Structure 1
Amino acid sequence: MLALGFAGAAQAQTTPPVTQDDSSANDMVVADSRIEPDIVVAARVPQYSYQVGQAVTVLTRAEIERRQTIVLSDLLATTPGVTVTRNGGIGTITAVRIRGAEGEQTLTIIDGIRVNDPSSPGGAFDFGTLLAGSIDRIEILRGPNSVPWGSQAIGGVVNIVTATPSQGAQARGQIEYGAHNSLYANAGLSGGTGALTAAFNGGYLRTDGISAAANGTERDGFRQYGATGKVGVELAPGIGIDLRGYYADSRTQYDSAFPPPNYVVSDSPAYSTAKEAYGYAGAHANLFDDRFRNRVAFTIADIKRDNFDAPNTPVSFFSRGRTERFEYQGDFKVIDQLRIVGGAEHEDSRFNDGSTFAATGITSAYGEAIVNPVRQLTITGGVRHDDHRTFGGHTTFGADAALALDTGTTLRASYGEGFKAPTLYQLYSFYGTRSLVPETARSYDVGIQQRLLGNQVSASVTYFHRDTKNQIDFDLGTFTYQNIAQTRAEGVEVELALRPVEALTVTGNYSYIDAKNRSTGTNFGRDLARRPKQTLSVSADYRFAFGLSVGGTVSHVGDSFDNAGNTVRLDGYVLAGFRAEMAIGHRLSVYGRIDNAFNEKYQTVANYGTDGRAAFGGIRVKLD
Structure 2
Amino acid sequence: MLPLIVLASQAAIAATPAPPNNQPIFIRETAAPFTVTASRSTIRLAETGISISQIDLPQIKALSLPLVKDYLTLIPGVAVAQTGPLGAQTQIRIRGAEANHSISFIDGIEMNDPASSGEFRIDTLLSHGVERIEVLRGPQSALWGSQAIGGVISITTRAPVRGTEVYGELQGGSLGTVRGGIGGGWAGETLTVSGQLSGLSTDGYDIARSGGDKDGYDNVTAHGRIEWRASPQLTLLLVGRHQDSTSRFDGFDYDAGGPVDEPLATQSRQSAVRAEAALALLNGDWTTRASFMAVRADNINRRAGAFENRSDGERDLFRLQSTGRFKTGGLAHNLTAALDVETERFTSRDANAQADSNQRQRRRQTSLVGEYRLSSSNGLSAGAAVRHDMNDRFADATTVRFDAVAAIGAVSLHAAFGTGIADPTFFDQFGFFPGSFQGNPNLVPERSRSVEAGIGWAAGGHSFDLTLFDANLTNEIIGTFNSTTFIAGVANASGRSTRRGVEVAGRAALARGLTLNTSYTYLDANQQQVAGSALVREVRRPRHSGSIALNYSSRPFDLSAAAAITGARGDTDFARFVPVTLPAHTLLTLAGAWHISPRIDLTARVENALDASQVDVFAYRGPGLTAHGGIRFRL
Mark the CA change 1:527 to 1:14 in structure 2 (over 3 Å): closer, same or farther: closer
Mark the CA change 1:172 to 1:523 in structure 2 (over 3 Å): closer, same or farther: farther
> Structure 2 counterpart of 1:529, which letter?
V
Which residue among 343, 359, 364 is the counterpart of 1:361?
Answer: 364
Find out whether 1:395 has 2:398 as its counterpart: yes
Question: Does structure 2 retain, via aligned residues, the 8 Å contact 1:356–1:429?
Answer: no
Question: Does structure 2 retain, via aligned residues, the 8 Å contact 1:8–1:509?
Answer: no
* CA positional deviation for 1:245: 1.0
For 2:210 and 2:457, locate their aligned partners in 1 and report how far apart those are by CA, in whole Å. 48
User: 1:76-103 deviations in whole A, cap 9, x for unaligned?
Assistant: 0111000100111111111010001111
Which residue among 288, 291, 294 is the counterpart of 2:285?
Answer: 291
Q: Which residue of 2 aligns with 1:303?
A: 297
SS at match of 2:617: coil
For 1:21 and 1:277, locate their aligned partners in 2 and report how far apart those are by CA, in whole Å. 36
For 1:66 and 1:550, locate their aligned partners in 2 and report how far apart those are by CA, in whole Å. 7
* CA positional deviation for 1:294: 1.3
User: 1:391-425 deviations in whole A, cap 9, x for unaligned?
Assistant: 121000110001122x2111110001111112222
SS at match of 2:226: strand
For 2:231 and 2:194, locate their aligned partners in 1 and report how far apart those are by CA, in whole Å. 21
Mark the CA change 1:495 to 1:428 in structure 2 (over 3 Å): closer, same or farther: same
Find out whether 1:508 has 2:518 as its counterpart: yes
Which residue among 392, 417, 420 is the counterpart of 1:418?
Answer: 420
Which residue among 143, 162, 180 is the counterpart of 1:185?
Answer: 180
SS at match of 1:104: coil
Mark the CA change 1:341 to 1:518 in structure 2 (over 3 Å): closer, same or farther: same
Counterpart mapping for 1:334-373 below 5 A:
334-335=326-327, 336-354=331-349, 355-373=358-376
For 2:212 and 2:616, locate their aligned partners in 1 and report how far apart those are by CA, in whole Å. 19
For 2:513 and 2:16, locate their aligned partners in 1 and report how far apart those are by CA, in whole Å. 31
> Structure 1 counterpart of 2:496, which letter?
Q
Which residue among 491, 501, 509 is the counterpart of 1:499?
Answer: 509
Q: Which residue of 1 aligns with 2:477?
A: 472
SS at match of 1:147: helix
Q: Which residue of 2 aligns with 1:444?
A: 451
Between Structure 1 and Structure 2, the one with more strand by share is: 2
For 1:368 and 1:240, locate their aligned partners in 2 and report how far apart those are by CA, in whole Å. 23
Q: Which residue of 2 aligns with 1:552?
A: 561
> Structure 2 counterpart of 1:362, which letter?
Q
Question: Does structure 2 retain, via aligned residues, the 8 Å contact 1:210–1:609?
Answer: no
SS at match of 1:50: helix
Which residue among 460, 464, 485 is the counterpart of 1:459?
Answer: 464
The two structures, once aligned, show a CA RMSD in angstroms of 2.2
**Structure 1 outlier segments of 4+, above 6 Å:** 16-20, 33-36
> Structure 1 counterpart of 2:384, which letter?
G
Which residue among 196, 217, 222 is the counterpart of 1:222?
Answer: 217
Counterpart mapping for 1:206-217 below 5 A:
206-213=201-208, 217=212
* CA positional deviation for 1:195: 1.8
Mark the CA change 1:256 to 1:375 in structure 2 (over 3 Å): closer, same or farther: farther
* CA positional deviation for 1:426: 2.1
Question: Does structure 2 retain, via aligned residues, the 8 Å contact 1:188–1:200?
Answer: yes
For 2:201 and 2:296, locate their aligned partners in 1 and report how far apart those are by CA, in whole Å. 23
Structure 1, 481-490 or 360-369: larger mean CA deviation: 481-490
SS at match of 2:123: helix
For 1:580 and 1:472, locate their aligned partners in 2 and report how far apart those are by CA, in whole Å. 45
For 1:584 and 1:19, locate their aligned partners in 2 and report how far apart those are by CA, in whole Å. 37
* CA positional deviation for 1:372: 2.1
For 2:620 and 2:49, locate their aligned partners in 1 and report how far apart those are by CA, in whole Å. 39
Which residue among 64, 89, 96 is the counterpart of 2:92?
Answer: 96
Which residue among 527, 534, 540 is the counterpart of 2:544?
Answer: 534
Which residue among 166, 169, 178 is the counterpart of 1:174?
Answer: 169
Counterpart mapping for 1:12-411 below 5 A:
12-13=8-9, 21=17, 38-120=34-116, 122-213=117-208, 217-258=212-253, 261-262=255-256, 264-311=258-305, 313=306, 315-335=307-327, 336-354=331-349, 355-405=358-408, 407-411=409-413
SS at match of 1:538: strand
Question: Does structure 2 retain, via aligned residues, the 8 Å contact 1:215–1:607?
Answer: no
* CA positional deviation for 1:73: 0.5
Q: Which runs of 5+ in 2 are unaligned?
A: 20-28, 350-357, 433-437
* CA positional deviation for 1:380: 0.3
For 1:165 and 1:238, locate their aligned partners in 2 and report how far apart those are by CA, in whole Å. 22
Q: Which residue of 2 aligns with 1:29?
A: none
* CA positional deviation for 1:373: 4.8
For 2:480 and 2:160, locate their aligned partners in 1 and report how far apart those are by CA, in whole Å. 49
Mark the CA change 1:252 to 1:437 in structure 2 (over 3 Å): closer, same or farther: same
Q: Provide the TM-score with structure 1 as the length reference.
A: 0.92
Q: Which residue of 2 aligns with 1:618?
A: 630
Find out whether 1:585 has 2:597 as its counterpart: yes
Q: Which residue of 1 aligns with 2:621?
A: 609
Instruction: Report percent identity of matched pairs.
Output: 28
- Aligned residue pairs, count: 600
Q: Which runs of 5+ in 1 are unaligned?
A: 1-6, 24-32
Structure 1, 262-271 or 65-74: larger mean CA deviation: 262-271
For 2:14 and 2:198, locate their aligned partners in 1 and report how far apart those are by CA, in whole Å. 43
> Structure 2 counterpart of 1:511, which letter?
T
